Structure 1
Amino acid sequence: MGGSRAHCGAGCYVERMYGCTLLGLLLFVGTPVYSNECPCSDPALCQPIKDSRDFEVYVFYVRGKNWKNYDWDRVTTVALFAPYDPELMCFAHSKGARLVLKGDVPLKDIVDSGNRTAWIAEKVRLAKAQYMDGINLDIEQAVFPGTPEYFALTALVKETTEAFHREIPGSQVTFDVAWSPSCIDLRCYNYTGIADLCDFLFVMSYDEQSQIWTECIAGANAPFNKTITGYEQFIDICIDPKKLVMGVPWYGYNYICLNLTEDNRCKIEKKPFRGAECSDAAGTQVAYSAIMKQVNNSLSGRLWDDVQKAPFYHYKDKKGNIHQVWYDDPQSISLKVAYIKKLGLRGVGMWNGDLLDYSADPAARQQTADMWKALLP
Structure 2
Amino acid sequence: MLVVWLCFMFLTLVCCDEQCPCETQDLCEQITDEKDFEVYVFDVGHKAWKSYDWTKVTTVAAFGKYDPELMCYAHSKGARLVLKGDVQLPGIVDPAKRTAWITEKVDLAKKQFMDGINIDIEQEVQESTPEYYALTALVKESTEAFHREIPGSQVSFDVAWSPKCIDKRCYDYAAIAESCDLVFVMSYDEQSQIWGDCIAMANAPIYQTLTAYDHYMMMKINPKKLVMGVPWYGYDYPCVNFSEEGVCTIPKVPFRGAPCSDAAGRQVPYSAMMKQINSSMSGRMWDEVQAAPYYNYKNKEGQVHQVWYDDPVSIALKAAYVSARGLRGIGMWNGNLLDYSNNTVAQQQTKSMWNALKPNHEKEH
Q: Give per-residue Cα distances to partners, 1:82-113, cap 9 Å, x unaligned.
A: 00010000000000000000000000000000
Please tell me whether Structure 1 or Structure 2 has the larger radius of gyration of its CA atoms: 2
- Counterparts of 2:34 and 2:251 in 1: how far apart (Å)? 46
Give the counterpart of 1:306 among 272, 280, 288: 288
Match of 2:27 in 1: 45
| One-letter amino acid of the structure 1 residue matched with residue 173 of structure 2 | Y
Give the counterpart of 1:108 among 90, 109, 116: 90
Give the counterpart of 1:81 among 63, 67, 74: 63
- Counterparts of 2:44 and 2:182 in 1: how far apart (Å)? 21
| One-letter amino acid of the structure 2 residue matched with residue 221 of structure 1 | N
Instruction: Give yes or no for the alignment of 1:263 onto 2:245.
Output: yes
Give the counterpart of 2:273 among 267, 281, 291: 291
- Counterparts of 1:230 and 1:312 in 2: how far apart (Å)? 23
- Counterparts of 2:299 and 2:248 in 1: how far apart (Å)? 15
Question: Post-superposition shift, 1:158?
Answer: 0.4
| One-letter amino acid of the structure 2 residue matched with residue 123 of structure 1 | K
Q: Give per-residue Cα distances to partners, 1:126-149, cap 9 Å, x unaligned.
A: 000000000000000010111000
What root-mean-square deviation, in Å, do the aligned CA atoms of Structure 1 and Structure 2 show? 0.9
Match of 1:242 in 2: 224
Give the counterpart of 1:186 among 162, 165, 168: 168
Q: Do the aligned residues in 1 keep the contact of 2:125 with 2:169 (CA within 8 Å)?
A: yes
Q: Do the aligned residues in 1 keep the contact of 2:45 with 2:62 (CA within 8 Å)?
A: no
Question: Post-superposition shift, 1:351?
Answer: 0.2
Question: Post-superposition shift, 1:262?
Answer: 1.6
Give the counterpart of 1:201 among 183, 186, 199: 183
Q: Which runs of 5+ in 2 are unaligned?
A: 1-15, 360-365
| One-letter amino acid of the structure 1 residue matched with residue 68 of structure 2 | P
Fraction of identical pairs, as percent? 67
Instruction: Give yes or no for the alignment of 1:228 onto 2:210.
Output: yes
Instruction: Give yes or no for the alignment of 1:280 onto 2:262.
Output: yes
Higher helix share: 2
- Counterparts of 1:140 and 1:222 in 2: how far apart (Å)? 18
Question: Post-superposition shift, 1:63?
Answer: 2.2
Q: 1:218 aligns to what SS in structure 2?
A: coil
Inter-CA distance 102–258: structure 2 relative to 1 (3 Å threshold) = same
Instruction: Give yes or no for the alignment of 1:363 onto 2:328.
Output: no
Inter-CA distance 338–245: structure 2 relative to 1 (3 Å threshold) = same
| One-letter amino acid of the structure 2 residue matched with residue 87 of structure 1 | E
| One-letter amino acid of the structure 2 residue matched with residue 214 of structure 1 | G
Question: Post-superposition shift, 1:190?
Answer: 0.3
Give the counterpart of 2:307 among 322, 325, 334: 325
- Counterparts of 1:364 and 1:347 in 2: how far apart (Å)? 26
- Counterparts of 1:146 and 1:159 in 2: how far apart (Å)? 19
Number of aligned residues: 344
- Counterparts of 1:168 and 1:35 in 2: how far apart (Å)? 15
Match of 2:11 in 1: none
Q: 1:354 aligns to what SS in structure 2?
A: helix
Q: Give per-residue Cα distances to partners, 1:294-327, cap 9 Å, x unaligned.
A: 0011011000000101000011101111100000
- Counterparts of 2:131 and 2:218 in 1: how far apart (Å)? 25
Match of 1:212 in 2: 194
Q: Do the aligned residues in 1 keep the contact of 2:181 with 2:225 (CA within 8 Å)?
A: yes
Instruction: Give yes or no for the alignment of 1:345 onto 2:330.
Output: no
- Counterparts of 1:272 and 1:209 in 2: how far apart (Å)? 11
Q: Give per-residue Cα distances to partners, 1:251-299, cap 9 Å, x unaligned.
A: 0000000011122110000000011000000000000000000001101
Give the counterpart of 2:153 among 168, 171, 177: 171
Question: Post-superposition shift, 1:35?
Answer: 6.6
Instruction: Give yes or no for the alignment of 1:91 onto 2:42.
Output: no
Question: Post-superposition shift, 1:343?
Answer: 1.3
- Counterparts of 2:323 and 2:331 in 1: how far apart (Å)? 14
Q: Do the aligned residues in 1 keep the contact of 2:233 with 2:309 (CA within 8 Å)?
A: yes
Q: Which runs of 5+ in 1 are unaligned?
A: 1-33
| One-letter amino acid of the structure 1 residue matched with residue 70 of structure 2 | L
Match of 2:41 in 1: 59
- Counterparts of 1:262 and 1:295 in 2: how far apart (Å)? 20
Q: 1:301 aligns to what SS in structure 2?
A: coil
- Counterparts of 1:374 and 1:310 in 2: how far apart (Å)? 14
- Counterparts of 1:41 and 1:167 in 2: how far apart (Å)? 25
- Counterparts of 1:51 and 1:299 in 2: how far apart (Å)? 49
- Counterparts of 1:120 and 1:367 in 2: how far apart (Å)? 40
- Counterparts of 1:177 and 1:355 in 2: how far apart (Å)? 21
